[in-house]
Structure 1
Amino acid sequence: MSAPLVPTEPAAADAAPAATGDDDDVVDPFNVTSASSTGINYDRLIVKFGSTAITEDMVARLERVTNMRAHPWIRRGIFFSHRDLGSILDHVERGGRMYLYTGRGPSSEALHLGHLVPFMFTKYLQDAFKCPLVIQLTDDEKFLWKDHSLAETYRLGKENCKDIIACGFDISRTFIFSDYEYVGHMYPNIVRIQKTFTYSTIKAAFGFSDSDNVGKHAFPAVQAAPSFSSSFPHIFGADERVPCLIPCAIDQDPYFRLTRDAAPKLGFLKPALVHSKFFPSLHGFGTKMSASDESSAIYVTDTPKQIRDKIVKYAFSGGRDSVEEHRRLGANLAVDVPFAYLTFFLFDDERLERIRAEYSSGRMLTGEIKAELVGVLQPLVAAHQRARLAATDEAVRTFMSVRKLDV
């Protein structure tokens, strides 16, 4: 039996209505909008959601406990907020075991770069903690929310699974599952969780109306269930108190605030979370990526030419209106999409700092920083495409088979 977690946050309820970051920001699992050209006010969102900022001290402690350099995304503040990360580190330091949980809602054939962010970060966490990982494909959710058939959401889940596998997860420690296929194993926990959720709580947390189908109201318990180790007896046996760490974008937090409120009522451990900021649209921080507008995102299926053309034509620039003005004032990095994308995918800290200094001073022009970004993203996407080709149907079957994992 693993040692119990020691809470590092107040014992007050986590559940709260879907929050707003700034007066005109909307952040919930179904809507993320900001009226500001600089995007969501994350500092205010931390206060609204009641999470905790990831500090330099927390990053240093993570490195000590895992004996690994922290991922650039946590050092650069892209993963910026947490719930009970300190408790997970306490537990691991005492020799306890833990596991990771993340997921994907399969609503489209091809993933864009923003979809890769949680999986690439989860890969780092799996390597750092050397722990099991469960990945939920919420094909049922997409059937309830989208105009897709059951068969189509199931097929898309299997296709998306290949992109997930391409991120390099350890097959001996990773279980990927379709809700359609695995929900029976979790159903005892699902109904336990549902019994703790009231209709009014679900409506307040997610903004559902009386005209929404009843499946939407029931679904939050399905997303909550993988947070508890007893949902995976083939991995953890009879041990119901293996703590869970969930890396996710901050818009998914309402699901897990409810989950954390339900946990003590059921005798389970509260899951811990680390939250990421949002990956911006090519069109700017105040817009969103859309599958219906291919110019808004770089997709993992894009060719080198498509990547270059999209960046050159559509990536919103913080450069000035003329070369003379740009040389005098420098770029506005707060609204510049190419620099934001480099902050995500250029992992060389020294090179990124040189670009920041040159571009913000006006010595580097917009065309030059876009060329830098093209040079980073073309090989990254090409490498992903090669890895996906190696993710065969047999590999999918193995990753998705109910089996014992290395723990």
Structure 2
Amino acid sequence: MAEEPVNKPTANEDDDFVDPWTVSGKSETGIDYDKLIKRFGSQKVDDEIIQRFEKVTGKRAHHFLRRGIFFSHRDIHNILNLYEAGKKFYLYTGRGPSSESMHIGHMIPFIFTKWLQDVFDVPLLIQLTDDEKVLWRDLKIEDARKMAFDNAKDIIAVGFDVEKTFIFNNLDFIGKCPAFYQNMVRIQKCVTYNQVKGIFGFGDSDVIGKITFPSIEAAPAFSTSFPFIFENKVLPCLVPCAIDQDPYFRMTRDVAARLKLPKPSLIHSTFLPALQGAQHKMSASDANTSIFLNDSAKHIKTKINKYAFSGGRTTVEEHRLKGGNTDVDISYKYLTFFLEDDDRLAEIKKEYESGVMLTGELKREAIDVITPWIQEYQKRRATVTDEVVEQFFKLRPLKF
């Protein structure tokens, strides 16, 4: 099989725009993920892979897999083969803190990562790229660090196992771990300025910190960056992430071969769309595009009723006659992420598309699913103290 392109894949004017900082779709139905797979050179998560997950783990596939929310991969077979052979690997994912509270779109990779940690019983590294936010935004180091710790509490509340999970923020951690910095330098030596421009589109006026940042996101994909966890053992890595982070790991996989280290495997998620429509993912910088984890039940209801783009018709009569369009309806799209009952989801789809269910009723379904999910989450979040965060950030071996 041909290796994926290392440089930024070329896109036509009609193509969706997806990079680590901007996501914009051309169609009202959202990003064309099949096209994105072809452009990025990844592989589709098909029925065979889903069945293999179930065979190897002995568990039913997560609904994110069954519904194509995690839709693309690089070398996932390698990880499944390793696990089947009784060999070890670890998980690595991350978050670029950009707001005091995360929104439900940020939760998608973490919900799935928790499932992976549980079913494979493996260690997990979570990188908080507060340095990235300082370099890309008008943000002070002190503010970025605070956001990182606030977001760490949001992430911990997903339910990760502290004995198997290490969380770190770059602005504090890199100075404490010489091996991590040494791997950063090894990576930097393998990538030219022209290559990093080609992959990420950096320009001559970009600050020099941006040019070196990709090496920081790449380093956790190598177990030798964490001798206090892995004792310099070389373990393969699986990275669950949204598809917009893939450019970092195309570069990392190219570097891995040159460093004679295992290439990280990846599994990519789609985006939870903004309330206003599927062309954009949720944004932390605009409260009205997103449902935040600290929103009250009243806020959630207001946001969905007021802002969630509808696939309904202009009049009730026309809707009853022609039915609604679930391909563009945001309330329905949110249900595909958060309603676990496959039969109920299929029933809602059928009723809405046939005109039996109206837009207001569909919005109520979304409110009734998302509100209790967030309320349960908020109960867990309230128990995450500074002392709990310290346990996750402590440099220590992990159980695996």
TM over 0.5: yes
- 1:130 aligned to which of 95, 102, 121: 121
Task: Tell me how far apart the structure 2 counterparts of residues 124 and 21 of structure 1 sit (CA, whole Å).
Answer: 36
Cα distance change of structure 1 residues 232 and 39 upon mapping to structure 2, 3 Å threshold? same
State how far apart, in whole Å, the 2-side matches of 1:166 and 1:395 are. 10
Correspondence 1:299-378 to 2 at 5 A? 299-378=292-371
Contact 1:33 1:287 in 2 (8 A): yes
CA-to-partner distance for each residue in 1:145-201, whole Å, 9 max, x for gaps?
Answer: 111111111111011000000000011100001112221421010000000111011
TM-score, normalised with respect to structure 2:
0.97
User: 2:192 is matched by which residue type in structure 1?
Assistant: T
DSSP-derived class of the 2:166 partner: strand
2:63 corresponds to which of 72, 77, 93: 72
**Identical amino acids, percent of aligned pairs:** 53
**Pairing 1:197–2:188 present:** no
The secondary structure found in structure 1 opposite 2:150 is helix
2:97 alignment counterpart: 106
Query: Which residue matches 1:245?
Result: 238
Distance 1:126 1:289 in 2: 26
Aligned equivalents of 1:327, 1:172: Cα separation in 2? 54
- Cα deviation code 1:336-376 (max 9, x no counterpart): 00000000000011111110111111111001111111100
> Partner residue of 1:160?
151
| Cα distance, 1:281–1:353 mapped onto 2, change above 3 Å | same
Q: What residue in structure 1 maps to residue 251 of structure 2?
A: 258
Q: Does the CA-based 8 Å contact 2:56-2:83 persist in structure 1?
A: yes
Q: Distance in 2 between matches of 1:174 and 1:244?
A: 14
In structure 1, what is the Cα distance between the partners aligned to 2:76 and 2:107?
Answer: 22
CA–CA distance in structure 2, aligned partners of residues 329 and 94 of structure 1: 53
Residues 77/152 of structure 1: CA separation in 2 closer, same or farther (3 Å cut): same
Q: Do residues 222 (structure 1) and 216 (structure 2) align?
A: yes
Cα 1:390–1:21 change in 2 (3 A) is farther
- Could you list the per-position Cα deviations for residues 272-297 of structure 1 after superposition, in whole angstroms to 9, with x for gaps in the alignment? 00001111000001234333432211
Contact 1:16 1:49 in 2 (8 A): no
1:143 is matched with which residue? 134
Measured after TM superposition, the shift of residue 13 of structure 1 is 5.3
Contact 1:21 1:48 in 2 (8 A): no
Separation in 2, partners of 1:297, 1:71? 24
8 Å CA contact 1:19–1:26 kept in 2: the answer is no
For the structure 1 residues 220 and 209, does the alpha-carbon distance in structure 2 shift closer, same or farther, using more than 3 Å as the test? Answer: same
Letter in structure 1 aligned against 2:290 = A
Does 2:263 match 1:270? yes
Counterpart AA for 1:93: E
Aligned match of 1:282: 275
- Counterpart residue identity of residue 325, structure 2: N
Question: Is residue 240–residue 267 contact of structure 2 (8 Å, CA) maintained in 1?
Answer: yes
1:280-336 Cα offsets, whole Å, 9 max, x none, are: 000001234333432211111110011001111110000111111111111111110
CA contact (8 A) 1:133 1:174 kept: yes
Q: Is the 8 A contact 1:21 1:27 kept in 2?
A: no
Give the letter aligned to residue 192 of structure 1: R
**Using the alignment, how far apart are the partners of 1:155 and 1:261 within structure 2?**
34
8 Å CA contact retained: 1:245, 1:272 = yes
Aligned-residue CA RMSD in angstroms? 1.2
Structure 1 residues 88, 373: CA separation in 2 closer, same or farther (over 3 Å shift)? same
After TM superposition, give the deviation of residue 122 of structure 1 in Å: 0.4
CA contact (8 A) 1:18 1:206 kept: no
How far the C-alpha of 1:35 sits from its partner, in A, is: 2.1
Range 271-280 or range 29-38, more displaced: 29-38
| Aligned position for 2:51 | 60
Cα shift at 1:64: 1.0
Counterpart of 1:93?
84
Instruction: State the alpha-carbon separation in 1 of the partners of residues 194 and 322 from structure 2.
Output: 52
Aligned to 1:33: 24
8 A Cα contact 1:14 1:50, kept in partner: yes
Give deviations 1:362-392, integer Å, cap 9, x for gaps: 1110011111111001111111111111111
Moved over 3 A (4+): 18-22
The CA deviation string for residues 100-128 of structure 1, in whole angstroms up to 9 with x for no partner, is: 00001111101111011111110000001
For 1:64-113, what per-residue CA distance to the aligned partner results, in whole angstroms no more than 9, with x for missing partners? Answer: 11111111001100100000000111111111001000001111101111
Task: Report if aligned partners of 1:135, 1:176 keep a CA contact under 8 Å in 2.
Answer: yes
Structure 2 distance, partners of 1:294, 1:141, is 22
Alpha-carbon separation, structure 1, partners of 2:21 and 2:212: 16
- The offset of 1:18, in angstroms, is 4.7
User: How far is the alpha carbon of 1:58 from its aligned partner?
Assistant: 0.4
Counterpart contact for 2:98–2:284, Cα < 8 Å: no
Structure-2 separation of matches of 1:18 and 1:162: 36
Structure 2: which amino acid aligns with 1:312?
A: N
Whether contact under 8 Å (2:23, 2:280) holds in the other structure is no
Structure 1 range deviating more: 121-130 or 231-240: 231-240
| 1:83 matches 2:77 | no
| Distance in 1 between residues matched to 2:250 and 2:303, nearest whole Å | 38
